[in-house]
Structure 1
Amino acid sequence: MVVKKQFSSLDDLIKNTPIPVFVCFYSNQCPYSKTYAPILEQLKAQMGNQIQVIKISTDKYPQLAVKHEIKASPTSLLFIEGELACRIKGVMQTPQLIQYLQKFI
C-alpha cells in the first residue's frame, strides 16, 4: 500500500533514503492522474521494499512541480541515491512500469 506520510523536505527524503524513490506528481483535475492511483498501489505491492512510492499533488505543492519541471500530470520521477534516474510522462500499466523501472534499480 502507498503510505501517506508527512515529510519536511522532498530533497531530504530523496537524498536520505537508501532505496530508490518513485515520485508521482499528479493533479486532482486530471482524469489520467486518477487512473494512476491503483497502478501505484500495485507497483508498491509488487516491488515491496525495492522502491519507495510517493504521490505529490501539484495543486497542493505547485512550488515542487515548478522545481522539478513538471509540465503535465501525471509525471513520475525515479531518484536513485539522490539523483534523477528517469522521468515518465503519462500513465503506464503496472507490468510495463515495473519492467521499465527494473532497468534502473
Structure 2
Amino acid sequence: MNNSFQDIINSEKPVLIDFFATWCGPCQMLGPVLTQVKDSLGGRVSIIKVDVDKNQELAATQQVRGVPTMILFQNGQQLWRQSGVLSKEEIIKVILDKIN
C-alpha cells in the first residue's frame, strides 16, 4: 500500500486519512462523523480510511500510536494530525483553516 499511499497524499486535493481499527469504539463513532464531513465538503477533500490492523507497516511509518488518528495531507505535506474523536464542525473548521 505504501506506493499508492504516497500517490494519494501527494495529491493537490487535500486528503484526510482516518487510521482506525474495527474493534475500536471511538473509531466506530468517528465513521458517521466523517461521512457528514464528506457530505458537507463534497469534492474539496478526499477522506480515506486505513485499517491499522491490515496496514501495520503504514501505521508505523506514519507513527500512529492510537486510534482513531486523523492526518490531513496536501501535496505530500502533513498539514494536521489529531488522535481521538472530534465533532463534524471541528473537523470541517480544521480542514478549511488548513487548505484556504
TM-score by length of 2: 0.93
Over the aligned positions, Cα root-mean-square deviation in angstroms equals 1.5
Structure 2 residue matching 1:91: 3-state secondary structure: coil
Q: Distance in 2 between matches of 1:24 and 1:97?
A: 12
Structure 2 residues not aligned, in runs of 5+:
none
Contact 2:2 2:58 in 1 (8 A): no
Count residues with an aligned counterpart. Answer: 99
- 1:29 aligned partner: 23
Unaligned runs of 5+ in 1: 1-5
Query: How high is the sequence identity, in percent, across the aligned residues?
Result: 28
1:8 offset after TM fit, Å?
Answer: 5.6
Partner of 1:14: 9
Residue of 18, 39, 45 corresponding to 1:51:
45
| Per-residue deviation, residues 18-60 of structure 1 (Å, max 9, x unmatched) | 2001000001111000001101100110001110000000011
Deviant stretches of 4+, over 4 Å: none
- Larger % of helix: which? 2
Q: Which whole-Å deviations, capped at 9, do the CAs of 1:61-87 have from their partners, x for residues lacking one? A: 111100000000000100011100010
